[in-house]
Amino acid sequence: MLLKLRGGLDSIFVTVLLGVLIGSFAIFGIGSSVFTSNNQQVATVGDTIIPTQQYANRVQQRARALQAQFGAQFTAPQLIRMMRLDEQILQQMIAEAALSEHLSSLGMRAGNTELREELETYEGFVLPDGTLSKDMVLQALNNTGLTRADFMDQVRRGISQRNLVSTFEAENMMSRSYAEALYVWQAERRRATMIDIKAADITGIAEPLESELQAYYDLNKGAYTTPENRSYKYILVTPQQFMAQIEVPEDKILEEYESRAADYIRAERRGLQQVSFNDKAAAEAFLIAVNSGADFVEAGASVTSFTAEEIELGNFEKSEAINDFGEASADSIFALEEGGISAPLERFGSWNIYKVASVTAAEESSLEEVRDEVTATLKQYEAEDMLYTMVDTISEAMGEETSLDAIAKASGLPLASVTKITAQGQSASGEAAATLANEFTILREAFSKEVDVEADMIDLDPQDSAKGFYLVEVTAIEEPAERALEDIRNELTAAWTQDQRLEKASEIAETAKTRLASGEDAEAIALDLNAVSFDAKNVARTADEGSSLSPSIRRLIFDLDKNGIDVDRAADGNGYVVVRVDDVTPGDPAASAAAVDVLLTQLNTQVVDDIFTQYQGYLLKSYETTVNTAVQQSLFADNPQQ
């Protein structure tokens, strides 16, 4: 936890500088009204304010980072909702604010020397000669809209927070002797002999007598009941129900196509390679070499610190190239032909040479090519409008009628009936009676209601009302009932037989244990008892990758003393395993000094983490925290108002 916090503190300056560049607030439906004078903070901790915009930037930044990991299947708003990023980030910022408040009370503030040293650690602020560039700092501030005073205050605060956190660190909080003793235990390895008796391999179990089967039935009849069955009626309304009756005029199709022209144009993209130099002379020498036939990537990797992978930048549209390399460089790059190499281009004190490795021409889809897509989109819009109109129609009907039959008749919607279905969606005959996702949604609701309870309109998806809604009315509930012995005779017989096999396997395991303890050979015992004998070598306390030992058997091996013997149930429940510990080899700290060092570091880190967790809890109790929930919800509501 402490390491995570440190990472957060170290990156706070990057967050401040880059957070607002991650993307437009429009993806969250955030309007300018959110940042009016009454909503400048999302929370306060003591006298320390958590600014709304900074909070929103942090959430957005984290969502975009996760989106890059997961791919395009999730949007940023979906990730925020699914992973509750808004709440996670708010709690992190509250913890940071509590630290800041405590720093203020202690009078801790970073000086100018510390400030300059900190800024010089940011690669984007330093010129090739190692000096701090005021121009780069100012450009970053201009991009983010931060004032110089606000930025410097954030940097000072971050330095002070890091200094405070460092006071929790101390060398050798845990002694090396303790780490060595723990290593002896952790690194212990064992060898064991095992005999596996599988119940499924046991034969000769006679058919149960009628009295035995009856007794088994009486003891276990509770496990052999019929499932609860329910009957219900429902009305389902989705946009798809209206699609067939919608006709889209040609002028609407053309208008939609023209309004979305940007969606159907793929800008030209260029695959770029880049090599950078600290001075123009070196760049010009490199350019002469590649123009004379040297391979751009190989030559760049040989004369600079860049690797071949770093020289390959990937594909860029011109707008992306402007963002990353500046407008002048982008103009030069996009003036080149495929295979072309730029002149040395200066930016931020470096001289950059670009090669256009590939060109992907711009593409534009004609109306005819996307007609079906445009038409389907317009139909979807119209269908959703009809869906919401139907909400009003049904609401009016529900004001006058109570039964679902009457509501269906008044609204002109079809009424579906389901008879005697289980919670798993099966009919009385065991066939699948519910197969679609919407049917299972309604099924779950039906099994949560009582008979004749008045129906309500319920969204199919609580996160997206445009997917449709339903009303369900339970008409009958058939409670579980005991099944007669004759109806389940075959099931009972199979279960009784399996229990007999397990009981016999247990007896055989005890016999094998006794014989093994008397000194008999394990393989001979296994052969005699129709079992399997094998050795488990170099067994660790925790499972190694690919280990086939079950956790229960592994625990048994380490619970026994050397030469100890015992029996445990097999991991799959289908038999028993006899275990004898043959050898115990403790960990050797003298021969594994590096491993002990790692363990000692982990122990010290854990102690510091524990101390800091308690300290953080103390701070959060010491300073009053107020959260502006209205602002938080308006930023990241499931369905933000536009």
106 and 19 co-located in one domain: yes
- 448 part of a folded domain: yes
Q: Are 59 and 32 in contact, with CB atoms under 8 Å apart?
A: no
Sort 76 into a burial class: Cβ within 10 Å, 0-12 / 13-18 / 19+: buried
The residue written with tokens 């952790």 in the block is 186
Domain limit, last residue, from 450, 478, 506? 478
33 and 132 co-located in one domain: yes
Query: Which CB contacts under 8 angstroms, 24+ apart, belong to 445-454?
Result: 445/470, 445/472, 446/230, 446/232, 446/234, 446/418, 446/472, 446/474, 447/228, 447/230, 447/423, 449/474, 450/474, 450/477, 451/475, 451/476, 451/477, 454/402
Query: Could you read off the pLDDT of 405-420 as tens digits, one per residue?
Result: 999 999 889 999 999 9
Give pLDDT, residue 150.
Answer: 66
Listed in sequence order, the DSSP H helices in 401-418 are 404-411
243 and 379 co-located in one domain: yes
DSSP structure class, residue 498:
H
CATH number at residue 574: 3.10.50
Give pLDDT, residue 234.
Answer: 96
- The token duo for 156 is 């000072």
Q: What residues in the chain have per-residue pLDDT under 70?
A: 1-40, 68, 70-73, 123-124, 126, 128-130, 132, 139-147, 149-150, 165, 168-172, 348-349, 545-547, 637-642
- 594 part of a folded domain: no
For 295, list phi and psi in degrees, rounded to 5. -70, 130
- 184 part of a folded domain: no
- Number of structural domains, the chain? 4
- 178 part of a folded domain: no
298 and 408 co-located in one domain: no
- 523 part of a folded domain: yes
CATH number at residue 164: 1.10.4030
> Can you tell me the distance from the alpha carbon of 117 to that of 245, in angstroms, rounded to the nearest whole number?
70
457 and 529 co-located in one domain: no
6 and 42 co-located in one domain: yes
- The token duo for 151 is 């930025």
Domain limit, last residue, from 478, 508, 533? 478
220 and 238 co-located in one domain: no
CATH number at residue 336: 3.10.50.40
In Å, how far are 30, 132, 146, 156 from 111, measured between CA atoms? Answer: 38, 17, 21, 8
Nearest to 354 by CA among 338, 368, 370, 367: 338
626 and 577 co-located in one domain: no
Q: Which residues contact 304 (CB under 8 A, 6 or more apart)?
A: 275, 276, 277
- 281 part of a folded domain: yes
557 and 446 co-located in one domain: no
What residue type is 79 in one-letter code? L
Q: Are 232 and 403 in contact, with CB atoms under 8 Å apart?
A: no
∠ CA 208-209-211 to the nearest 5 degrees? 120
Give pLDDT, residue 180.
Answer: 94
Half-sphere exposure for 127 (CA within 13 Å, toward CB): 9
- 255 part of a folded domain: no
Nearest to 436 by CA among 458, 454, 412, 418: 418
Q: Are 333 and 342 in contact, with CB atoms under 8 Å apart?
A: yes
Nearest to 568 by CA among 591, 551, 552: 552
Write out the residue range of the structural domain in which residue 124 sits: 2-169+622-636
15 and 135 co-located in one domain: yes
390 and 445 co-located in one domain: yes
The whole-angstrom distance between residue 637's C-alpha and the CA centroid of its chain comes to: 20
> Can you tell me the distance from the alpha carbon of 566 to that of 562, in angstroms, rounded to the nearest whole number?
12
Give pLDDT, residue 98.
Answer: 86
> Can you tell me the distance from the alpha carbon of 6 to that of 159, in angstroms, rounded to the nearest whole number?
11
Domain limit, last residue, from 325, 340, 361? 361
The whole-angstrom distance between residue 554's C-alpha and the CA centroid of its chain comes to: 31
Give the sheet arrangement for strand 189-198, strand by strand.
Answer: 532-539, 189-198, 575-585, 565-569
Listed in sequence order, the DSSP H helices in 25-84 are 52-70, 76-83
Listed in sequence order, the DSSP H helices in 518-592 are 522-528, 551-559
> Can you tell me the distance from the alpha carbon of 256 to that of 271, in angstroms, rounded to the nearest whole number?
33
Sort 457 into a burial class: Cβ within 10 Å, 0-12 / 13-18 / 19+: middle
58 and 120 co-located in one domain: yes
Give pLDDT, residue 596.
Answer: 93
Within 10 angstroms of residue 30's Cβ, the number of other Cβ atoms is 19
- 385 part of a folded domain: yes
